[in-house]
Amino acid sequence: MVRGVYIHIPFCHQICNYCDFNKFFFHNQPVDEYIELLGKEMELYKSQLEDARIETIFIGGGTPTSLTEKQLERLFTLIQAHIPLNDIVEFTSEANPDELTFEKMKLMHSYGVNRLSMGVQTFDQDLLKVLGRTHSNEHVYEVIEHAKKIGFPSISMDLMYGLPNQTMEQWKYSLQEVFRLKIPHISAYSLLVEPKTVFYNLMSKGKLSLPGEDLEAEMYSYLMDEMDKQGYHQYEISNFSYGGKESRHNLIYWDNDEYIGLGAGAHGYVNGIRYSNHGPLKKYMQTIESNDKPFMMQKEVTETEKMEEEMFLGLRKNAGVPMDVFYNKYGQSLQNVYGKELKELVEKEWIEMNNNHVRLTRRGRFVGNEVFQYFLK
């Protein structure tokens, strides 16, 4: 059963040096036409949407806030027309702090957006320039002030560590600002240098100086300790919240449940089939205009693959994988399917098994990707 909808807005006014998501520089792009075709793609999912109880909507990018107020309003009008909103508990939009005006925020709130996810990344101004970010700390403070005035129930911030030449002191300062601002949800990721990014090209030329593994591990350890001291609950490898402000949408992914992905380059999981849409705008738009879903790839997930995904997605959560849920879904016990792997991982002290759950230990969180490999047959 489909639980969530993801909508991709692939436009940016500035391309960040680390970003490998499907995105296009805003200038001279067919933005209005793209929004209309998003509405047409929603129509193509009419039967799945009518049969579902949609709990979450997440608008990501790219940069959704790169749209004008008029374009945002048209997007929200299409969402209201095609997606059942009665059961929505979380409606998130990603945002760049320097593009999120008071007027845009009021508009978004009036259409039901109740969670803002801001790409802050760091509070160090020099590192912001290295990343190719265009906002300042003042933009962040202003957005938070406006959000409180308007009445947004939740704000999330993305932070990054392991950045080029980043020091421990710079990382500590970013976390201190988050705590001072009392942001209820934090996603904190280590930098991954991906192909087709500015950082990748620099690294290939030996011109990207990154912190070593030891310093990056120290940053992650400090993150977990300080979040705990400040009353945050770490509910996933990279995500922390307080006051029940976990990302309900991302939990759909980690629970291995189904969701619809809309837009150029979006991914989805519907009726046991994982799919990805065409990324190039022209190909995506031409396919929609022909009244076809813009699939680039479709893959029916086998029972074995479902069990694998249940493990490597579920183990990202601090709660881990409930053994009874696994049995109810697949008709087999975890011990029967993965007994050898579980035994080895327990001996390494990377996982623990208690209270009907299999979960990563603190030690295991540092080597999560190695743990996940055990379940890929």
pLDDT at 163: 96
Q: What is the pLDDT of residue 330?
A: 95
For residue 196, is pLDDT > 90? no
Q: What was the pLDDT predicted at 191?
A: 93
CB under 8 Å to 20, separation ≥6 — which residues? 194, 195, 196, 197
Q: What is the pLDDT of residue 174?
A: 98
Query: What pLDDT score does 342 carry?
Result: 97
SS3 269: strand
Helix ranges (H only) for the chain are 31-44, 46-51, 69-82, 102-110, 125-131, 137-150, 168-181, 198-204, 213-229, 248-254, 281-289, 303-314, 323-330, 334-347, 362-365, 368-373
- Residue 377 in this model has a pLDDT that exceeds 80: no
C-alpha separations of 70 from 33, 54, 67, 110, 158 in Å: 13, 26, 8, 14, 27
CA distance 90 to 156: 12
Report the distance separating Cα 358 and Cα 373, nearest Å: 15
| Residues 326/339, Cβ–Cβ less than 8 Å | no
Residue 69: what pLDDT? Answer: 97
At 307-326, the pLDDT tens digits run 999 999 999 999 999 999 99
Rounded mean pLDDT of 286-313?
97
For the ranges 10-14, 157-161, 242-246, the maximum mean pLDDT occurs at 157-161
What token pair was written down for 345?
């991982």
Which pLDDT score is estimated for 147? 96
Per-residue pLDDT at 350:
98
Q: Would strands 56-61 and 90-95 be described as parallel, antiparallel, or unpaired?
A: parallel
The CATH fold assigned to 2-253 is TIM Barrel (3.20.20)
CATH topology of domain 303-373: Arc Repressor Mutant, subunit A (1.10.10)
The pLDDT score that the predictor gives to residue 313 is 97
Q: Looking at residue 14, what is its pLDDT?
A: 85
- Residue 284 has a pLDDT of 97
**Would the pLDDT of 67 be above 80?**
yes
Most confident of 19-23, 25-29, 246-250: 246-250
Q: Do 303-373 and 2-253 fall under one CATH topology?
A: no
Domain ranges (residues) in the chain: 2-253, 303-373
Q: What percent of the chain has pLDDT over 70?
A: 100
Candidate from 187-201, 258-272, 309-323 with smallest mean pLDDT = 187-201
Read off the pTM. 0.95
Dist. CA 155–CA 140, nearest whole Å:
11
Give the mean model confidence (pLDDT) for residues 233-260. 96
pLDDT at 22: 76
- Asked whether the predicted pLDDT for residue 17 surpasses 80, the reply is no
Q: What is the mean pLDDT of residues 215-228?
A: 97
Other beta carbons less than 10 A from residue 231's beta carbon: 10
Residue listed under structure tokens 């209005």: 32
Which pLDDT value is given to residue 266? 98
More confident call, 20 vs 267? 267
Long-range contacts of 246-250 (CB under 8 A, 24+ apart): 246/185, 247/90, 247/92, 247/156, 247/185, 247/187, 248/55, 248/56, 248/89, 248/90, 249/4, 249/6, 249/56, 249/57, 249/58, 249/90, 249/92
Q: What angle do CA 267, 311, 247 make, to 5 degrees?
A: 55
Point out which residues pair with 358 in neighbouring strands: 321, 353
Structure token digits, residue 203: 């690294």
Q: Which of 42, 60, 57, 72 is nearest to 288 (CA)?
A: 42
Per-residue pLDDT band for 355 (boundaries 50, 70, 90) equals confident
Give the pLDDT band (50/70/90) at residue 211: very high
> Concatenated DSSP letters for 204-218?
HTT------HHHHHH
Tokens for 315? 């183990």
